[in-house]
């Protein structure tokens, strides 16, 4: 795809408007859009952690105190997907970029691309030990939720509570068809307008401002002026060839069912959700003590559709004794 350029967008005109991108300078937009107080910019820093020789994972660390929560995003997303949730929580936390996503390096060669939740969990465990070893809750959405389950199996001392955001091991191809089609879309886009139009088409209920902000966090402009998603920068694609790579995460049911820590499922109830009634029933069969919260106005991405409601759900969960 060519060498990436530094992401300075002063000469780019999305929707006819000049744009200047500062990664940590957009939080006021999140706050304004959702009616949150914004008296001062939050304390946020980006950290890089070496997870293997020559490979690094990146994370955003919010606040000056040790993180209380670890947030793991879904496939084709990045740590900034949690920005509004983090602002609403107003707690110290860490949001990690999964391998091959955001500012993180590529996944491990053994990881079958970014789809290997076991390899993802191995890498994430290194980051949690380095930056958030005392976190009270690990929160995972979609691919991040599957990674969080695997993490609980591999390193149970790091997962004291587990919150799953619209995901169970029952996810399959038909349930995630619309998401997969978007992720496996064009490899590059001629202009910012083109990548924005594609994103609006996939997210018709979101504001253009929020989608524009999300693209700035999740895409890069190459030297030739074209745009690519950050998760498409590496040799392995997110999904790969669907004819040869069909991940089966059903084995994670056994891991999930063996957990003795509190487990919460926040389930979106709109059509875009990838959790159905059978998945919910299976979760409660294996973990009768698990809590399930239905969010009526959300689809798959609760942190995007209803971030304040999700933040309230997580705040209650982290505060319980």
- Residue 4: band (very low, low, confident or very high) from pLDDT cuts 50, 70, 90: very low
Q: In whole numbers, what is the pLDDT of the chain averaged over residues?
A: 89
- Asked if residue 321 has pLDDT above 80, the reply is no
* Active-site choice (142, 176, 210, 273): 142
Higher pLDDT, 3 or 149: 149
Please tell me the predicted confidence (pLDDT) of residue 183: 84
Please tell me the predicted confidence (pLDDT) of residue 111: 61
Q: What is the pLDDT of residues 10-31, one digit of tens each?
A: 334 443 343 468 999 999 999 9
Tally Cβ neighbours within 10 Å of residue 207: 11
Cα–Cα dist 180/158, whole Å: 30
Please tell me the predicted confidence (pLDDT) of residue 311: 98
Q: Quick one: what percent of the chain has pLDDT higher than 70?
A: 87
* Active-site choice (97, 300, 301, 305): 300
Beta strands in 219-271 (DSSP E): 219-221, 227-229, 263-268
Active site residue 294: no
- Sorted by where each starts, the structural domains of the chain and their CATH numbers stand as 14-319 (3.40.50.1820)
Higher pLDDT, 79 or 221: 79
Please tell me the predicted confidence (pLDDT) of residue 2: 33
- Residue 120: band (very low, low, confident or very high) from pLDDT cuts 50, 70, 90: very high
* Active-site choice (166, 176, 273, 279): 166
Cα–Cα dist 248/243, whole Å: 14
Q: What is the pLDDT of residues 239-283, one digit of tens each?
A: 444 434 456 788 999 999 999 999 999 999 998 999 999 999 999
Q: What is the pLDDT of residues 131-176, one digit of tens each?
A: 999 999 999 999 999 999 999 999 999 999 999 999 999 998 788 8
Active site residue 166: yes
- Asked if residue 130 has pLDDT above 90, the reply is yes
8 A C-beta contact, residue 227 and residue 7: no
Please tell me the predicted confidence (pLDDT) of residue 115: 64
Cα–Cα dist 45/278, whole Å: 41
Could you say which DSSP state residue 189 is in?
B
Q: Quick one: tokens of 194? A: 């083109």
Q: Quick one: tokens of 136? A: 């009270």
């Amino acid at each position: 795809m060519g060498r990436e350029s530094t992401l300075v967008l002063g000469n780019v005109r999305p929707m006819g408007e000049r744009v200047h991108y500062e990664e940590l300078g957009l939080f006021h937009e999140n706050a304004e859009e959702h009616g949150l107080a914004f008296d001062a910019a939050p304390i946020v820093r980006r950290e890089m952690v070496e997870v293997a020789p020559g490979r690094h994972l990146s994370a955003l660390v919010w606040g000056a105190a040790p993180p209380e929560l670890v947030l793991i995003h879904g496939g084709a997303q990045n740590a900034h997907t949690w920005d509004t949730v983090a602002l609403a929580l107003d707690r110290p936390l860490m949001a990690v970029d999964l391998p091959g996503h955001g500012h993180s390096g590529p996944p491990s060669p053994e990881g079958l691309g970014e789809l290997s939740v076991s390899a993802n969990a191995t890498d994430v465990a290194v980051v949690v030990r380095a930056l958030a070893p005392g976190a009270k809750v690990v929160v995972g959405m979609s691919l991040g939720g599957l990674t969080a389950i695997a993490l609980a199996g591999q390193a149970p001392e790091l997962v004291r509570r587990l919150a799953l955001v619209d995901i169970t091991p029952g996810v399959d191809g038909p349930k995630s068809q619309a998401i997969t089609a978007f992720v496996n879309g064009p490899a590059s886009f001629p202009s910012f307008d083109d990548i924005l139009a594609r994103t609006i088409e996939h997210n018709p209920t979101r504001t253009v401002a929020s989608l524009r902000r999300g693209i700035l966090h999740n895409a890069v402009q190459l030297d030739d002026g074209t745009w690519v998603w950050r998760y498409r920068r590496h040799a392995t694609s997110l999904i790969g060839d669907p004819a040869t790579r069909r991940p089966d995460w059903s084995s994670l049911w056994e891991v999930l069912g063996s957990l003795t820590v509190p487990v919460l499922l926040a389930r979106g109830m709109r059509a875009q959700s990838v959790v159905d009634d059978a998945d919910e029933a299976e979760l409660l069969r294996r973990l009768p003590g698990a809590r399930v919260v239905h969010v009526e106005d959300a689809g798959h991405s609760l942190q995007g559709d209803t971030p304040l409601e999700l933040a309230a759900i997580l705040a209650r969960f982290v505060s319980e004794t």
